[in-house]
Amino acid sequence: MKHQNQTGFTILELLIATAVFSIILLIGATTIIQVGRMYYRGVVASKNREVVRNVIDEISRPIQLEGAGVITGVAPENQPSTGEQVSVEVFCIGSKRYTYTTGAFLDETLDGTVVAGLNNTKRVRHVLWVDNGGSVCTPANLTIPNPTPDGTELLSPGMMLSDMSLTSTSIGATGTQRSYNLRVFGLTGADDLVQSDGSVWRCGAEIVGSQWCAGSDLFTNVYKRIE
């Protein structure tokens, strides 16, 4: 009688092969997840930077070209008058009025109220409103859907101003010319994705979902071209 020499896999070999295959799948899945996070982080960061850059351009233009006076240092105003509030500030450049608040996310669903959030943040209907109220230069009401008929919101939903400032210095031999230093620090995210050091908010580094948070802290120095 002839016997054929039959070979096959032992149970141990099958277990080893299965383990190796599982590790390869795990590495592949982890790589795909990381690539996906990097992609979404890049998209969020790109959109955030575009909005902040547009704000810088929007404010710089009238300073350079209109030759109009710049009004800063107006006392902040708490809005609304009762309940949870945000501190609202304003500066004016000629006919343009810029009303803003820091530390609050833009939430289009709110109407007349402010909602407290995590990490010392809040949510409000508008964050940075520009209109033609420069002749008055008192803050517009950021808690209502349409603060003024001729105005517009400069930030996108889900964004906040972590910080914003406009200061001036005297330049030139006589000191009569003015140079303006503008800072706009905008965040995109949610209250559970940011952290505060007591003065500004930044995206948390080791937070689940951090790929959905991005910030752009831009500075510019603006010179008046027309006096």
- In the chain, the percentage of residues whose pLDDT exceeds 70 is 87
State how far the Cα of 31 lies from the Cα of 223, in Å rounded to an integer.
48
Q: Considering only CA atoms, which of 162, 178, 186, 194 is closest in space to residue 56?
A: 186
What tens digit of pLDDT does each residue of 19-59 get? Answer: 888 888 888 777 776 666 666 777 889 999 999 999 999 99
The pTM (predicted TM-score) of the whole model is 0.81
Per-residue confidence (pLDDT) for residue 73, from 0 to 100: 81
Q: Where are the alpha helices (DSSP H) in the chain?
A: 11-65
- Cβ contacts of 43 within 8 Å, gap of 6 or more: none
Report how far Cα 31 is from the mean position of its chain's Cα atoms. Answer: 28
- pLDDT at residue number 201: 94
Question: Across residues 85-90, what is the average pLDDT?
Answer: 96
**Stretch 144-161: mean pLDDT:** 97
Q: What is the pLDDT of residue 26?
A: 84
**Mean pLDDT across 89-118:** 95
Quick one: pLDDT at residue 199? Answer: 85
Angle at 164 between CA 129 and CA 91, to 5 degrees: 55
Bridge partners of 143, per DSSP, are none
Q: Which two tokens stand for residue 152?
A: 């517009």
Residue ranges of the domains in the chain?
A: 38-223
Output 73 or 6, whichever has higher pLDDT: 73
3-state helix, strand, coil in the chain (%, to 5): 25, 35, 40
Beta-bridge mates of residue 134: none
Q: Which of 24-28, 142-146, 204-208 has the highest mean pLDDT?
A: 142-146
Do the beta carbons of residue 182 and residue 166 sit within 8 Å? yes
Beta bridge partners of 179: 169, 223
The predicted model gives 185-199 an average pLDDT of: 92
Whose structure tokens read 């000629």?
A: 94
List residues bridging with 89 in a β-sheet.
100
**Helix-then-strand count for the chain, H and E:** 1, 14
Whether the Cβ atoms of residue 122 and residue 161 lie closer than 8 Å to each other: no
Q: How large is the average pLDDT for residues 157-179?
A: 81
